[in-house]
Chains A and B, each alone.
Chain A
């Protein structure tokens, strides 16, 4: 199919230009605010290194958990006739639109030491999620997993299901069909959804500080460190923000390469 490329009308281009400025100006703002001579030393203080390390670990774990637990859920949502599916999907996607701090309050109500579940976990297994890295990972997963689920579910619904039917008619069991046909077909979406979830987990702030607290080396991830450094050392806050910006932009640009320009 060949398509004639026509330029959009000038007013549309102008309006789009304004929109681009809307997104670009804050970016330029933070770049010109950065104190480039101290960026490296600001990023290598022990506090900053702790936050970088912790953010990397917790966000990778959150993305991994999202893939491990989100894939079966996406499969169920895309393929099976579970009752009240819109409600179920709404429940799963809720953290995408909920203010993260509300998610943090909800997690706290459900899993703090004084809650029934949190108290039981502590008494039975000595497990405490609050003020622990496990709690930070949980908060990040809570907020990030919906991005994975929505991406993979969409891919499963959109793929050509005749290949699955063909495999099934040739005698493949359902799990085999999933592993040998469905998963390879949607692999790009698994990668894209995983990266989206990872980027979101990396930037998670509200749920983490509310539920897991702000403990150096344990739950003080990059965004929390930025927030705290704003009070004392703005150069350091900007330097840490630049890391988050660079990584997020890299993820989005690489996803675009995978998803929009491949035709």
Chain B
């Protein structure tokens, strides 16, 4: 009989593994609740679905916001903007949306899911990242073709679309079989910092975050692409008051200062 029970156990384990791997892994993360500050009376929690490139900057912005409003809990859901807009269109609860391009915001405004007008709150630029010391001697986008495996974002993710625009402007074609595609900008950067990708195209802010794990090669202005980040409150928000306050905070002086610290370019 034992011969029969063990394959059954293995089957059960397999079924459980499949079930587990199908579940949604991207849980919202929350910053440490801020210590006591002046409380103008806002309370409750808001979920901010924000582009992966905003991960570190928004975590700081969220902490500042929670310090001003100790009774407010800000939770973040960071992923590629395309994944986030899909999640929201599918009915995932969120209070604010901050994608890395206007196309994904438009998907939600077209579906009447945004309350009021979204506002562009910051901008970003693209940069080439290489291994430390730039062993392949990559100086321009053209050097990426034939250099080895290049890490780019998925074609429909904002950072992937921007990279494709920049490559098109420079008239450079990289063979698809030499491209590894990250699902968001974080994964794209990791393929260079921890993987064997020779180089990648990410945002300036991601290159800054990676520090000396990469060498950044800036793009000339005529081929670079400016990424614009809009933010909007979702009409389905259960806490519109707090959501608007967070949006104002991001657009205000304190929020803009934090974004600038991380290398983002002011919106205007």
Query: Does B associate with A?
Result: yes
Residues of A within 8 A of B (CB): 23, 26, 96, 100, 105, 108, 112-114, 118, 128, 130-131, 147, 150-151, 153-155, 157-159, 189, 192-193, 196, 199-200, 203, 205-206, 213-219, 227-228, 230-232, 234, 248, 252, 255-256, 259-260
Smallest distance from the beta carbon of A214 to chain B beta carbons, Å? 5
Could you tell me if B86 and A234 are in contact, using CB atoms closer than 8 angstroms? yes
Q: List 20 A-B contacts (CB under 8 A).
A: A105-B194, A108-B195, A112-B195, A118-B196, A130-B196, A131-B149, A147-B10, A153-B6, A154-B5, A154-B6, A155-B3, A158-B3, A200-B14, A206-B21, A213-B149, A213-B151, A215-B179, A231-B82, A252-B11, A260-B4
Q: Which residue of chain B has the shortest Cβ distance to A252 in the bound complex?
A: B11
A113 to B196, CA, bound (A): 6
Could you tell me if B3 and A100 are in contact, using CB atoms closer than 8 angstroms? no
Residues of B within 8 A of A (CB): 1-11, 13-15, 17-19, 21-22, 80, 82-83, 86, 149, 151, 154-157, 176-183, 191, 194-197
A128 to B196, CA, bound (A): 9
Total A-B pairs, Cβ < 8 A: 124
Dominant SS among interface residues on chain A = helix
Could you tell me if A154 and B14 are in contact, using CB atoms closer than 8 angstroms? no
What residues of B have a CB within 8 angstroms of the CB of A23 in the complex? 19
> Known: A131-B149, A189-B3, A228-B183. Contact between A203 and B82, CB under 8 A?
no
Could you tell me if A96 and B17 are in contact, using CB atoms closer than 8 angstroms? yes
A199 to B17, CA, bound (A): 12
Q: Could you say which of A206, A213, A256 contacts B195, with CB atoms under 8 Å apart?
A: A213
Could you tell me if A216 and B154 are in contact, using CB atoms closer than 8 angstroms? no
Could you tell me if A260 and B8 are in contact, using CB atoms closer than 8 angstroms? yes
> Known: A112-B195, A216-B179. Contact between A154 and B3, CB under 8 A?
yes
Could you tell me if A227 and B183 are in contact, using CB atoms closer than 8 angstroms? yes
Q: Could you say which of B10, B17, B155, B176 contacts A150, with CB atoms under 8 Å apart?
A: B10
A132 to B179, CA, bound (A): 12
Q: Could you say which of B9, B21, B180 contacts A131, with CB atoms under 8 Å apart?
A: B180
